Chain A
């Protein structure tokens, strides 16, 4: 029997036996003339099964913890700059070229045509040879954008171009081109969404980007109807997926709208402290936000900013470590100045996560860690107490609504601007002897954090590094 036939028969038998449709004996009985070749191979194939093991739950949980920690130390996953040129490789049938060859050829082509190729690529459609070059040039625009909002805008511009390509492809009844463009659209929307969320986390204005997203959605609806009319199922599915994602993003944005509104109306004043220079961590550290209602949330970040600044003078602390903490602190201070308490809490939580990671990695000494942790906890305590105090005041005023005390019970506060402040759990690792006891904030509940506070089964003594 030809090897190809035997292999096909073997696959059929393995599939039937593993699915329980037939037994080994039945399979062999159905092919008596091939039994001599089939049986030994079939018996071998059926012996290759995964071992019935499950990882030890404690070790698995610890592994997960360590993995998440490691993941946060890694730079984000990004497509290499030459990525879109991959489609050039797939445009050439029956031949795979390595990326350096494609890049070299593309570069040579561009030089030879004095930029004419790039110009010609502007009108390339999915499936065209220059389409990869077109998308590569677009990615350069994303890479060179200076901020998260600008990157989000760049992704949305790409999304709009993909949408135009979908429409053109549907006009020409080219279902495959419509599918490729629709998938490109879905991907661009997803990337824009992530950038928008990151910009929001940094407290940057995203209204213009959201407007653009909404405009895309309207246009997308028209393309979707056209795709349905042309029965282009694959393109339709990709467009629907992108639409769901965009709508989800807009819903989330509208849920956050009161906070943004509050920020816009709040008369926020940042009182310079430390060096007194605007823009520096110390300058923003002593920020206080005053809302229309005239109730103030004052959080003094000067001590913690000074401690972070002191890290810069320590030759054994890497610049990156120091800058990461500084950036988060500045973002928190800026958010407080804008009256965005929840954003500040998020930034401070990120600050705390990084602090823990730096300590575990031995990048900062135990003494530096202890000092910074104590300052962080003090800041969070003030922030929570202020928020809850105001929540309680509002609760009393609105007793008929039955809200009195709810905020405190739930670990939620309400700022002067009516913004809910949810304080994430603060982990309290065991501190060295002589350190004042840490404060566990109300509302701290295990398992709420995005990451486990400590790996199960790991003694806290494992975690303390003298660092040096």
Chain B
């Protein structure tokens, strides 16, 4: 499964090399290439436009500050970017009023087909989203990197410094936990 790519791996690597060498223009290109994707990811996890905008800015600034430590050990830059996104979001959760981010519903869901089915899908996606947000941080990270961003297991593993097998186990446990949460709600 491959995620949506906005630039080739080679282009990404070249820009990252230039940015690490101090080229701010190259980093601005990376910002342009990944802004929307990071924004959507954050919006999914915090549910408010204003928070998503602020956090997205923070993520890119932190990425610039930490770029010198970015390890090109098989983890693509954007996978590394989502690990920063996760840390920033988790830090936001800690600062926010307890679980206040769960109060916001995303209203943008849409589905093909008749309005009845559309409403049903919206409701289901929102229910799953709220459940995802209640997962433990490491599970939430793997689930969002895998299903929201369509990153490969090996890339997630490289970005998180875990083995692929470990990532698969976390993913499986997270899905089982989601299943339990959703079934409990239905009772």
In the complex the two chains form, what is the Cα distance from A49 to B44 in whole Å?
Answer: 9
Chain A residue nearest to B47 in the complex (CB): A51
Q: Say whether B89 faces chain A, with CB atoms less than 8 Å apart.
A: no
In the complex the two chains form, what is the Cα distance from A195 to B18 in whole Å?
Answer: 11
- Contact A77 to B172, CB < 8 A, known contacts A53-B108, A55-B53, A190-B21: no
Which B residues touch A67, using CB under 8 A?
Answer: 31, 57, 60-61
Size category of the A interface is 35 or more
Q: Say whether B109 faces chain A, with CB atoms less than 8 Å apart.
A: yes
State whether B108 touches A51 (Cβ < 8 A). yes
Chain B residue nearest to A237 in the complex (CB): B10
Please encode chain B, from 5 to 26, with 1 for each CB lying within 8 Å of some chain A CB and 0 for all others: 0000010001001111111110
Chain A residue nearest to B109 in the complex (CB): A51
Q: Which of B56, B108, B128, B171 lies at the interface centre, i.e. has the most chain A CB atoms within 10 A of its CB?
A: B128
Which A residues touch B14, using CB under 8 A?
Answer: 190, 241
Which B residues touch A55, using CB under 8 A?
Answer: 35-36, 39, 53
Please encode chain B, from 152 to 175, with 1 for each CB lying within 8 Å of some chain A CB and 0 for all others: 000000000100000011011001
State whether A3 touches B28 (Cβ < 8 A). no
In the complex the two chains form, what is the Cα distance from A40 to B49 in whole Å?
Answer: 31
Q: Say whether A275 faces chain B, with CB atoms less than 8 Å apart.
A: no
State whether A80 touches B69 (Cβ < 8 A). yes
Chain A residue nearest to B173 in the complex (CB): A3
Which residues A182-212 have CB closer than 8 A to chain B? 186-187, 190-191, 193-195, 198
In the complex the two chains form, what is the Cα distance from A10 to B153 in whole Å?
Answer: 13
Chain A residue nearest to B124 in the complex (CB): A47
Q: Say whether A462 faces chain B, with CB atoms less than 8 Å apart.
A: no
- Contact A64 to B21, CB < 8 A, known contacts A47-B128, A50-B40, A53-B43: no
Which residue of B27, B73, B183 is within 8 Å of A77 (Cβ)? B27
State whether B147 touches A190 (Cβ < 8 A). no
Chain B residue nearest to A6 in the complex (CB): B172
Q: Say whether A293 faces chain B, with CB atoms less than 8 Å apart.
A: no
State whether A7 touches B171 (Cβ < 8 A). yes
Q: Say whether B148 faces chain A, with CB atoms less than 8 Å apart.
A: yes
Which residues B67-122 have CB closer than 8 A to chain A? 67-69, 71, 73, 106, 108-110
- Contact A74 to B65, CB < 8 A, known contacts A7-B168, A44-B128: yes
Of the listed stretches A11-19, A167-175, A417-425, name the one at the interface; the rest are far from the partner chain.
Answer: A11-19
State whether B24 touches A51 (Cβ < 8 A). no
Which residue of B106, B147, B182 is within 8 Å of A51 (Cβ)? B106
Question: In angstroms, how far is the closest chain A Cβ from the Cβ of B140?
Answer: 11
Which residue of B23, B144, B175, B182 is within 8 Å of A194 (Cβ)? B23
State whether B73 touches A90 (Cβ < 8 A). yes
In the complex the two chains form, what is the Cα distance from A78 to B44 in whole Å?
Answer: 32
Size category of the B interface is 35 or more
Number of A-B contacts (CB under 8 A): 136
State whether B106 touches A450 (Cβ < 8 A). no
In the complex the two chains form, what is the Cα distance from A152 to B28 in whole Å?
Answer: 23
Q: Say whether A54 faces chain B, with CB atoms less than 8 Å apart.
A: yes
State whether B108 touches A77 (Cβ < 8 A). no
State whether B1 touches A70 (Cβ < 8 A). no
In the complex the two chains form, what is the Cα distance from A193 to B17 in whole Å?
Answer: 11
Which B residues touch A7, using CB under 8 A?
Answer: 168, 171-172
Please encode chain A, from 76 to 101, with 1 for each CB lying within 8 Å of some chain B CB and 0 for all others: 11111001001000100000100000
Which residue of A18, A52, A86, A90 is within 8 Å of B109 (Cβ)? A52
Which residue of B64, B129, B178 is within 8 Å of A74 (Cβ)? B64
In the complex the two chains form, what is the Cα distance from A46 to B69 in whole Å?
Answer: 34
Question: In angstroms, how far is the closest chain A Cβ from the Cβ of B148?
Answer: 5
Chain A residue nearest to B132 in the complex (CB): A48
Which residues A94-144 have CB closer than 8 A to chain B? 96
In the complex the two chains form, what is the Cα distance from A203 to B78 in whole Å?
Answer: 36
Q: Say whether A292 faces chain B, with CB atoms less than 8 Å apart.
A: no
State whether B175 touches A41 (Cβ < 8 A). yes
Which B residues touch A186, using CB under 8 A?
Answer: 17
In the complex the two chains form, what is the Cα distance from A80 to B172 in whole Å?
Answer: 37
Which residue of A63, A83, A194 is within 8 Å of B21 (Cβ)? A194
Which B residues touch A3, using CB under 8 A?
Answer: 169, 172
In the complex the two chains form, what is the Cα distance from A19 to B94 in whole Å?
Answer: 37
Q: Say whether A72 faces chain B, with CB atoms less than 8 Å apart.
A: yes
In the complex the two chains form, what is the Cα distance from A193 to B127 in whole Å?
Answer: 52
Which A residues touch B150, using CB under 8 A?
Answer: 18
Q: Say whether A264 faces chain B, with CB atoms less than 8 Å apart.
A: no
Which A residues touch B128, using CB under 8 A?
Answer: 44, 47-48
Which B residues touch A96, using CB under 8 A?
Answer: 161
Chain A residue nearest to B65 in the complex (CB): A74
In the complex the two chains form, what is the Cα distance from A254 to B178 in whole Å?
Answer: 61
Q: Which of A40, A71, A77 lies at the interface centre, i.e. has the most chain B CB atoms within 10 A of its CB?
A: A77
In the complex the two chains form, what is the Cα distance from A45 to B176 in whole Å?
Answer: 11
- Contact A77 to B64, CB < 8 A, known contacts A67-B57, A190-B21: yes
Task: Pick the 9 closest A-B CB pairs, nearest first.
Answer: A76-B22, A77-B67, A48-B147, A47-B128, A194-B21, A15-B1, A79-B68, A191-B21, A7-B172
Give residues in B with beta carbon < 8 Å to A: 1, 10, 14, 17-25, 27-28, 31-32, 35-37, 39-41, 43-44, 49, 53, 56-57, 60-61, 64-65, 67-69, 71, 73, 106, 108-110, 124-125, 127-129, 132, 143-144, 147-150, 161, 168-169, 171-172, 175-176, 178-179, 182-183
Q: Can you list 23 A-B contacts with CB-CB less than 8 angstroms, sorted by A residue number? A: A3-B172, A4-B168, A7-B168, A7-B172, A14-B1, A18-B1, A44-B178, A45-B175, A48-B128, A48-B129, A49-B125, A49-B147, A51-B43, A55-B53, A64-B32, A64-B35, A66-B57, A67-B60, A77-B19, A77-B22, A79-B68, A80-B68, A191-B21
Q: A52-B110, A77-B67, A190-B17 are in contact. List 5 more A-B contacts (CB 8 A).
A: A47-B124, A67-B60, A68-B24, A72-B24, A74-B64
